[in-house]
Structure 1
Amino acid sequence: MTTKRWEITNPDETKVQAVQQALAISQIAAKILVARGLDTPELAKAFLHIDENALHDPFLMYGMEAAVERIHRAVAEKEKIVVYGDYDADGITSSTVLKSALIDLGADVHHVIPNRFIDGYGPSERLFKEFAEEGYHLIITVDNGIAGNGPIDVAKALGVDVIVTDHHEAGAELPNADIIIHPRHPEGNYPFGELAGVGVAFKLAQALLGKFPEHLLEFVAIGTIADLVPLVDENRYLVKAGLKRLTTTTNIALQALAKIAGTELSDITEETVGFSFGPRLNALGRLGDAAPAVDFMLNDHIEEAAAMATMLNDKNKERQKIVADLTQQAIDMVENIAEIRDAQVLVVAEEGWNAGVVGIVASRLVEKYYKPTIVLGIDIEKGIAKGSARSIEGFNMYKELDTCRDVMIAFGGHPMAAGMTLEMENVDELRNRLHAQSLLSLSPEDLIPVVKIDLPITVDEINVDAIDDIRKLAPFGSQFAKPQYGILNTQIKSMRKIGANEDHVKMELSNGGNTLDAIGFHKGFMADELTQGIDVSFTGDLQINEWNGNRKPQLLINDVKTEQWQLFDIRGGNKISKWLQKIPMDSTTFVAFKKETVDYFSSLIPKEIQLYDEKASKDDYFSFVVLLDLPQSAEQLQTMLALVEPSRIYAHFFVANSHLFDGLPTREQFIWYYSFLKQRKEFHLRHHLNDLAKHKGWSRAMLIFMTQVFFELKFVTIENGLAKIVENPQKREITSAEIYIERTEQVALEQKLLYAKYTDLRRWFEECLQPQTVSEEEL
């Protein structure tokens, strides 16, 4: 069950109705817009129907006019220009956009992307010296350069002009470049500061070409989506327009990329770009040289493009394998090294880790532990550690690293992600400092992951048309994320594990009338943690499941919780190992009411079994309780439940010898058997009991029980298996025998607990767990 905090937005119904009517959209779509602050028809309409009016004049960007003048002069004078990019999807598309524009202008232009394993991130002094030696007169950085002070000084000293175009956080001291184009330039006033690197390159291309370069929109959309910048304002229009062009693109490379990724361009969305295009472009730079990716994007030969797309796909598979291996190694370190595990900022480092994938590994650790995380690969020969950071809400990674710049060789990034290089001996110092800083900036609540639910909806609101309508709100991304829905206090009508390894779960949810299919990938464990008949709340994404021509709405489950206690029926489960796997050992108490039960299960259950003690306190129990056997009485179990107030009850109720189906002998059976013994005077039980049972059609166990009753009431004596009648015994009722009373209670308990229907058993437990109230008359 969830350990996350659910934050649910409840949009104003009056505003929802106004937006819904004005825009003629579904109630769910209107709720999403209102929940996101677009709570008037005017705001919602402007957002939903965003157009070219969202674009800003590129010359509003500080330094743009000077940059255009310098580049046009370089083109006119046939100067050699190098576009210096970055090795991720944003940097690759940025290089593609600017190089393409410069080619259109007739420039003598080349592109270079540094190898992260040789030169690291950003401007490289080695490469900048090479540019000067090779006769380049102008370096234009894209998606980097704002933190490249040293190498830029070197280039300037060698007589090479430098134009920086970037969108990353600027440091206290800007580089000494000839021109800096940045949407958040401290001396500028550009209306929108959240452009991706490719967005900045596109604005420069627009200014250079003197027109809006629609033919470059596909690349802008890919880079902007991949870099996870906010999909609002200008970014939103660029992505929306770029996605539209992608559906009919004539670009040979993008067609080849879609084919190798198994994506139909006609159906492309921001999700397919983010999960299919982005990773394949990123893979090249993560494992080696990313420069060929720009050649690929500009390639117009079908065979070459197909071969390069295949190479990108192979690199991505290789990257996936490396990520899986490194993630497991990192998890092992966190779990087994106390100083790492106990820090509020996870910092893990290991020799030989691929610096190209450590950012992905950091993201996986944040998902698992919900702590700010830095993952570093150590190069023993160079004595350095290089890696990436990912953060959580409330911990500005860039600012926190900025206070530690004295122990780092270089760093850069954003509040939620960063990259850095430091001396390997400073890794522990960095961990200690960030941990200390986190104690000041993060509260205990900040370390509990949050699920932000845009709106609660009911099962009967969900249909195919409504989900189709929601797509009108796309593209979704940072600051306008795909909606997270909350279906609160519904019930599970059916549930089963699916998949070859039963890793997934399929459910049918119901609100009494309507039903909704739900599926949880890699959430098969939910089938072991949820029961039917209780109110359960789900969060997730609404999708349309298309199969065999049919379209049905479906919830893709993200998280689940319930406030109600649950009863898990494991009665009659002879395969203990099977149901034992479904029980979380660390939070469960195994309870037995009989000593012989403890002895029986002690070798089968890898945890101490607690023999019920009426003197025990609530602290002696976990909130999950397994009832291994039947209590001595219903009252005994009721007393325990009132004390413990368990949130989960696993009912096993093992009975070595059940008496329910034998039942209790009738009065007539007792009379006949006593008359039989009285006539015989004595009866050898060992020799003749089986014959008598067969003759009467009674069970041997019933005859033994009746004999025991007679013995307790002193109607017979038994010695060496010989039962002898007692002459003139004291008159006593059969029902007064203690063994008869115990069996009566045992049969009743078995009926009530062991053999009852699940619904009846739950009702009985429900009554036991109801808080007891006291009337005024009783006080």
Structure 2
Amino acid sequence: MLPSKTKWNFTYKQNEHDQEAPLVKGVSQLTGQLLEKRNIKNPEDVENFLNPSHNHLHDPFLMEGMALATSRVKLAIEQNEKILVYGDYDADGVSSTTVMIEALREAGATCEFYIPNRFTEGYGPNEAAFREAAASGYSLIITVDNGIAAVHEAEVAKEVGIDLIITDHHEVQNELPDAYVIIHPKTSPDYPFNELAGVGVAFKFAQALLNRLPEHLLDMVALGTIADLVPLTNENRALVHLGLKALSQSKRIGLNALKEICSIEGAIDEEMVGFSIGPRVNAVGRLQDASPAVDLFLTQDPEDATQLAGFINQVNQERQKIVSQIAKEAEEILLSGEQPLGEVIVVAKEGWNPGVLGIVASKLVRQFDRPAIVLAIDPEKEQAKGSARSIVAFDLFSNCMEIRDHFLHFGGHSQAAGMTLDVEGIDHLRSSLCLLAQQKLTDDDYQQILDIEMSVNIEDISLQQIDEINKLRPFGMGNPKPLFHIKETPKEVRLIGSQQNHLKMLFNRDKSKLDGIAFGMGDLYHQIAPSSELDVVGELSINEWNGRKSVQIMIKDMQVQKWQLFDLRGSKHLEKKLDFPHGEQTIAISFNGENRSPHDIPIIPVSELDSLNPKDVQRIVLLDMPKQLSQLSEVIQKLVPNNIYACYQVENSAYFTSLPTRDHFKWFYGMLIRRKSFHLVKDREKLAERKGWNVSMIDFISQVFFELGFVKMEDGLITIESSPSQKELTESLLYQERREQLYVEQTLYYSSYKELKGWLDEQRETVKEEVLNGL
């Protein structure tokens, strides 16, 4: 057996729709099921989902405060007031800032942008920046992607004579700022969709201000929306669908320079944004001032664009190194017990870069399967600042709001948050969150979950089918990329990659072929036995190589549900061929006193079998063969292991010196009667050559006759007993042992893989029958 690393949630019952007719007209049965699972059933909904358009965008004036906000901006333009766009340092904030600046300038405003420094100012509005803006002659500040928690800063704005327009999408807290106007989907009961990203809200403002749809800004909308991981449903789906086309065709000089850095050509999809463009834009604000990212998207100078794109890429490379180092340090702190590894991880250290701690927290969540808060300690301020990421079952925002008094600053979403607190409160925060987790979560809640759309057969997977599934794009939160389950025995499993840390599989049934790629799962190579039926879960995709296309599944997890036999009979260098997972007890079984085992696995003599608890043993390594098959049967039926490693060899084999027949014994005895005597040392070679027998067979026949009292043996000379007792050959213990040895070797060593596994299956079935019969 091979357990899955995650919890598999089959969201679709395969027999619910056992019909040939498609569920949705115009698409295949499989795609129709995917649409139905998304509650998209009638023709109009299907058309809207598969073909998002401008018609699916909502009226920006349905958002509360929009009319007042646009009137105030138009007044500022008429009166030539200076407007400051106050942004944020992540990709959503950068794209929001770009959208707002371009819209304001297009409307004729005099404006500049300001993005606070993550390290010296922190997230969101701050008093010093507002006072400096007033001193610099700004009379109107528009926040983008921040501000909903800026209660104090709103008061400061009033005090210094600045009108504050807040545009934000983050969770609304207990008290709203007393701003000139707040534009926020979740404070707008008449707005049909409340899950816009910060850039989505900024875009709606731009649409209202310009009184038309600013399609040239959709590239930034797609970037910010995808990078901020908001649900790609409803209006967000339309915005990203249109925005990806705009990204692909964009004439924005800075964006194209960044695409060239990322080696992106042609059509852009959400994965390219999420894994290539977005992280690079985020990196600047994580390590320093994010302003160069906005400059990149606003510039009209090709030379500046090339330099800025190169700089941003360099910063991203540095970010990757810092993340790797901090993640390693955090792991060591937790595993060493230096800081507790509780139900909720709270790990802190001086010297960590606060800008990358969200990424580190995500890594810890995946590694330890629990919420994680990673904090950087500032010894001068005696404060800790950091980021949090969570598991599905634990809402970070709501749980942290229950203990809001622990924080100096706090904000975020259900799965991600940022906070600042006093250093002395770190332990209290950890214990409080762990207590909440103990009260609200079960053991199953901590295991990562894969939501599986459906099980498919490889013959149902084709290039055309995958193209049709891709019509459901863009994938993201609220519309996840479908995960499929396949049950099949791979024809081939091999290690790939420069470090041999990935798996490649080939599934083949009739004329259908499917490649499987499992990145980072090379450690499972030695845990998959040949001929094992695998359950794999992954994403279907198309691989294109040298102009040829083929179907493949990008494997996310796998398992083997049945017990496995690893056939290493007669193999040398077992150390290289055996690799056992941590946390699963493996023991070696010896029938004949073997005292060496690979990897120093503990050796258990058969005589001590009763000392073992079968539940504690998942794997057994058979070091040698038993004298009798019943001995191995007893081991199998006692332990019922999930995995058996046959590692034994044969010396002095009985298989190739076959058991003499009754005719062999009869002829030899007749020869003794005729000759009166026979000398083993002097005569057996001649007899073996004459009869075509093996010398060892002559020795064996002689020993059996001697044991039964048919002959005398003295110094190698054999003579007939004058009046022997009548006995059967089977009464000889030597004969019985040789016959059993031959049977043991034939069953356990010289059998095929299929034959050996079949025999072991029979022993396991005996246990099942006893359990079923109540024994």
Name the structure 1 match of 2:24.
20
The alpha carbon displacement at 1:550 in A equals: 1.6
Tell me the amino acid that sits aligned with residue 201 of structure 1: A
Matched letter for residue 557 of structure 2: D
Whether 2:609 is the aligned partner of 1:608: answer: no
CA distance in structure 2 between the partners assigned to 1:367 and 1:678 by the alignment: 84
Q: Is the 8 A contact 2:5 2:557 kept in 1?
A: no
How far did 1:458 drift?
A: 1.7
Indicate the SS of the match to 1:394. Answer: coil
**1:627-658 alpha-carbon deviations (Å, 9 max, x no partner):** 22212322222233223222222222344443
Equivalent of 2:551, from 550, 553, 559? 553
| 8 Å CA contact 1:16, 1:31 repeated in 2 | no
Contact 2:540–2:552 (8 Å) recurs in 1: yes
SS at match of 2:250: coil
Return closer, same or farther for 1:701/1:590 CA change in 2, 3 Å cut-off.
farther
Q: 2:13 aligns with which of 5, 10, 14?
A: 10
Q: Does the CA contact (< 8 Å) of 2:206 and 2:214 recur in 1?
A: yes
Where does residue 190 of structure 1 map in the other structure? 191
Contact 2:680–2:699 (CA<8 Å) still a contact in 1?
no
Q: Are positions 1:643 and 2:651 aligned together?
A: no
Distance 1:92 1:500 in 2: 37
1:584 aligns with 2:578: no
In 2, are the aligned partners of 1:374 and 1:390 still within 8 Å (CA)? Answer: yes
1:596 counterpart residue number: 593
Q: Which residue of the other structure, out of 745, 752, 773, is the alignment partner of 1:750?
A: 745
Native 8 Å contact 1:716 1:723 kept in 2:
no
Separation (CA, whole Å) in 2 of partners of 1:765 and 1:239: 56
1:198-597 pair list within 5 angstroms: 198-264=199-265, 266-337=266-337, 340-341=340-341, 343-487=342-486, 489-511=487-509, 514-581=512-579, 583-584=580-581, 586-597=583-594
- How far apart, in 2, do the equivalents of 1:638 and 1:776 lie? 19
- Could you tell which deviates more after superposition, 132-141 or 587-596? 587-596
CA contact (8 A) 2:143 2:168 kept: yes
- The 2-side partners of 1:633 and 1:347 are apart by 57
Q: Which residue of 1 is the match for residue 183 of structure 2? A: 181
1:92 aligns with 2:85: no
- Distance, in Å, in 2 between the alignment partners of 1:586 and 1:541 is 29
Give the whole-Å Cα distance in 2 for the aligned partners of 1:522 and 1:70: 54
Per the TM alignment, residue 715 of structure 1 is displaced from its structure 2 partner at its CA by 6.6
Contact 2:620–2:641 under 8 Å retained in 1: yes
SS of the aligned residue for 2:491 comes to strand
Is the 8 Å Cα contact of residues 91 and 223 (structure 1) preserved in structure 2?
yes
Q: Percent sequence identity over matched residues?
A: 42
Residues 776 and 281 (structure 1), Cα distance of their counterparts in 2 relative to 1, 3 Å cut: closer
Go from structure 1 to structure 2 and tell me whether the alpha carbon gap of 1:400 and 1:267 turns closer, same or farther (over 3 Å shift).
same
Matches of 1:778 and 1:182, distance apart in 2: 65
Displacement of 1:258: 0.8
Per the TM alignment, residue 500 of structure 1 is displaced from its structure 2 partner at its CA by 3.0
Distance in 2, matches of 1:344 and 1:777, equals 42
For residue 130 of structure 1, give the secondary structure of its aligned residue in structure 2.
helix
Instruction: Give ranges in structure 1 of 5+ residues lacking alignment.
Output: none
TM-score normalised by the chain length of structure 1:
0.92
Q: 1:391 to 1:726 in 2, by over 3 A?
A: same
Q: Give 1:369 deviation, angstroms.
A: 1.9
Q: Give 1:673-692 correspondences, 5 Å limit.
A: none
CA–CA distance in 2 between the matches of 1:746 and 1:289? 78
For 1:728, which of 716, 721, 733 is the aligned residue?
Answer: 721
For residues 200 and 561 of structure 1, do their structure 2 counterparts lie closer, same or farther at Cα, with a shift above 3 Å needed?
A: same
Give 1:452 shift: 0.4
Question: 1:245: Cα distance to partner?
Answer: 1.5
Change (3 A) 1:593 1:191: same
Residues 1:418 and 1:674: Cα distance change in structure 2 (over 3 Å): farther
Moved more, 1-10 or 539-548: 1-10
Give the Cα–Cα distance (whole angstroms) in 1 for the partners of residues 233 and 312 of structure 2.
Answer: 30
Residue 153 (1) aligns with residue 155 (2): yes
Structure 1's 328 and 688: CA in aligned 2 closer, same or farther, altered over 3 A?
Answer: farther
User: Would the alpha carbon gap of residues 284 and 696 (structure 1) be closer, same or farther in structure 2, given more than 3 Å must change?
Assistant: farther
Q: Which runs of 5+ in 2 are unaligned?
A: none
CA contact (8 A) 1:591 1:609 kept: yes
Is structure 2 residue 624 aligned with structure 1 residue 629? yes
- CA deviation map 1:372-416 (0-9, x unaligned): 111111122221111111111221101111122212110100011
Alignment-mate amino acid for residue 721 of structure 2: N
Conserved? CA contact 1:408–1:423, under 8 Å:
yes
Residue 122 in structure 1 maps to residue 119 in structure 2: no
Q: Is the 8 A contact 2:371 2:394 kept in 1?
A: yes
Which letter maps to 2:4?
A: T
In structure 2, what residue type is equivalent to 1:496?
A: R
Shift of 1:528: 2.4
2:222·2:243 contact (CA, 8 Å) conserved in 1?
yes
> In terms of mean alpha carbon deviation, does 663-672 or 436-445 score higher?
663-672
Which residue of 1 is the match for residue 760 of structure 2? 765
Query: Counterparts of 1:525 and 1:406 in 2: how far apart (Å)?
Result: 45
Alpha-carbon displacement from aligned partner over 1:328-348 (angstroms, at most 9, x marks no partner): 22222222217622x111111
**Paired amino acid for 1:584:** P
Contact 1:286 1:356 survives alignment (8 Å): yes
> CA contact under 8 A between 2:23 and 2:32: conserved in structure 1?
yes
- Contact 2:711/2:721 (<8 A) preserved: no
Amino acid at match of 1:626: V
**Per-residue displacement from partner, 1:400-448 (whole Å, max 9, x unpaired)?**
1112221211010001110001111211111100000111221222122
Query: Is the 2:494–2:503 Cα contact (8 Å) retained in structure 1?
Result: yes
Amino acid of the structure 1 residue aligned with 2:596: Y
Amino acid at match of 2:219: E
Deviation of residue 618 (structure 1)?
A: 4.9
What is the total number of aligned residue pairs between the two structures? 766
Shift in CA distance, 59/86, structure 1 to aligned 2, threshold 3 Å = same
